[in-house]
Amino acid sequence: MGVDQQKSEDIKRILTNKGFAQFGDALLNFAYSLALTETTGKPKGARVPDKALAEAAVKAGLRKHLPRRVGRGDIANCLEALLGYSWLQKNLTIDEIVALLKSEALTPADNFARLAELALSRLEK
Amino acid sequence: MGVDQQKSEDIKRILTNKGFAQFGDALLNFAYSLALTETTGKPKGARVPDKALAEAAVKAGLRKHLPRRVGRGDIANCLEALLGYSWLQKNLTIDEIVALLKSEALTPADNFARLAELALSRLEK
């Protein structure tokens, strides 16, 4: 197996890991709540909608690392897994995540896509 | 209004604030997931059960700051509000929360109760 193929297998294993996705879900809801709180100046808590995550995962090109037949939930999970893994590996800090989520120029899905691209670029190094 | 009564009113206002409770919910689920991940050595994500939070709130003596007629959900929320507020005020760090949640000698409800007592003692200063 070539180096590139090995790397692609590793990424696929991370993106489809259920534990990383569950951890990433908790991480993202916290970072998203913090971004909302800092943006509005009022304490807020909210779950990130699966729809925005799935859209972001597609925009960031994560789809090609997944099996052919997957539903929207699985696509959203793969973005959560990528970010959960990256945070646990110290490839990404909460401050970086919050700063990117606070960009008002873009939609939430665009912000999450940029976050995924950043995480992926550090993973591919 | 005396100083103690004023302080008690302030605490009541924090504990019954919906925004702090929502933010605290996201914070606690993240800290709890991180504690589970560090304890088991495997990535995990989990929501803290309302039952454990309500039990902890009662053990920590938060009940007396709430209106007389409240359900279990409201009691759980007041602990989330206290911890959400305390973290936002930098009275409590995520590392402190995770360390307390990792204590294996106690039940989750006991750990959350100790956390609430710590937050309350810093709030009352």
Three-state DSSP at B52 gives helix
Q: Which residues of A29-39 are buried (b: 16+ CB within 10 A; e: fewer)?
A: bbbbbbbbbee
Q: How many CB atoms lie within 10 A of CB A47?
A: 14
Contact by Cβ (8 Å): A21, A27: no
Of the candidates B85, A57, A40, the residue with the CA atom closest to the CA atom of residue A48: A57
Contact: A84, B43; criterion CB under 8 Å: yes
pTM over 0.90: yes
The 10s digit of each residue's pLDDT in B37-50 is 999 999 999 999 99
Tell me which DSSP letter residue A51 carries. H
Q: At what angle do helices B18-40 and B72-88 cross, to 10 degrees?
A: 80
Best residue of B16, B37, B78 to probe chain A, by most A CBs closer than 10 Å: B37
Per-residue pLDDT reduced to its tens digit, A32-62? 999 999 999 999 999 999 999 999 999 999 9
Taking the CA of residue A85 and the nearest CA in chain B, the distance in Å comes to 8
Contacts of A45 in chain B (CB under 8 A): 19, 21-26, 84
pLDDT tier for residue B1 given thresholds of 50, 70 and 90: low
Does the distance separating the beta carbons of B26 and A30 come in below 8 Å? yes
